[in-house]
Amino acid sequence: MAKHSIMVIDDEKIVGDMAKLSFEQDGYEVETFLNGESALGRLKDKPFDVVVTDLKMKGVDGLEVLRTVKKLYPGIVVILITAFANLDVAIEALRNDVHDFFPKPVKFKELKASIKRALGDE
């Protein structure tokens, strides 16, 4: 049984660290990144199943990650987490085929349920 892989992108290191612990507990393979560029670079080498990304980051931000992933790897599920919940952004994300949207502070239970649903749908 292949493990599903999750990529977590957030410029707050703690988010990645905690997410990694939490997801690994459920049997996922997790890699964390502090910015969009390095994450997209990694995707070239490894096709992740799920990308969980923060919206507001310096450089390549969450929306750009979403667009790029959907363009290059449409099969990958993308979930946005953000401290910055705003209708325009939400609409834009929806238009770009985001799977789900979580405002911070994030409840891991809900996030994991969403991931499970997404992978179940596949």
Partner 1 sequence: MKIEHKLYLSNAVHILLIVLIGIFALRNLNAILTKFRFTVIAEGLNATFLEMRLAEKNYFLYGDEEALTRIRNSTKKTTDTLQRVKPEIIRAVGAANYIKLQDYLNKYTKLVESIGKAGHRNASSQKKKLREAGQVLKTFSEDMTALESERIGTIIGRSKNILLYSFWAVVLFALLLSNLIVRNIGHSLRTINDLTREIARGNYQKIEAKPSRDEMGAVLKAINAMAEELRKREKEIVQSKRLASIGLLVAGVAHELNNPLNNISMIAQTYAEAYDRLGKEERVGFMERVGEETERLRVIVHPLLDYAKPKKQYLARAAANQVIQKTLALVKNMLDISNIKIRQNLAQELPDIFIDKHQIQQVLVNMATNVIQAMSKGGELSITTRYLEDDDDVEIEIRDNGKGIPPEFLDHIFDPFFTTKEESGTGLGLWVSYGIVKNHQGNIRVRSKVGVGTTFVITLPTCKKLGVA
Distance, in Å, from the CA atom of 53 to the CA atom of 106, rounded to the nearest integer, reads 12
Distance, in Å, from the CA atom of 28 to the CA atom of 114, rounded to the nearest integer, reads 14
For the record, the structure tokens of 110 come out as: 């809900």
Residue closer to partner 1 (CB basis): 51 or 55: 55
Residue closer to partner 1 (CB basis): 73 or 103: 103
Residue closer to partner 1 (CB basis): 22 or 96: 22
Point out which residues bind partner 1 (CB under 8 A).
Answer: 12, 14-15, 18-19, 21-22, 25, 58, 83-84, 104-109
For the record, the structure tokens of 80 come out as: 């946005």
Torsion of CA 68, 31, 33, 38, to 10 degrees: -50
Residue closer to partner 1 (CB basis): 21 or 72: 21
- CB of residue 71 vs partner 1: minimum separation in angstroms? 25
- CB of residue 73 vs partner 1: minimum separation in angstroms? 27
- CB of residue 110 vs partner 1: minimum separation in angstroms? 11
Decide: 75 and 43 in contact? Cβ < 8 Å.
no
Distance, in Å, from the CA atom of 49 to the CA atom of 106, rounded to the nearest integer, reads 20
- CB of residue 105 vs partner 1: minimum separation in angstroms? 4
DSSP reduced 3-state for 70: helix
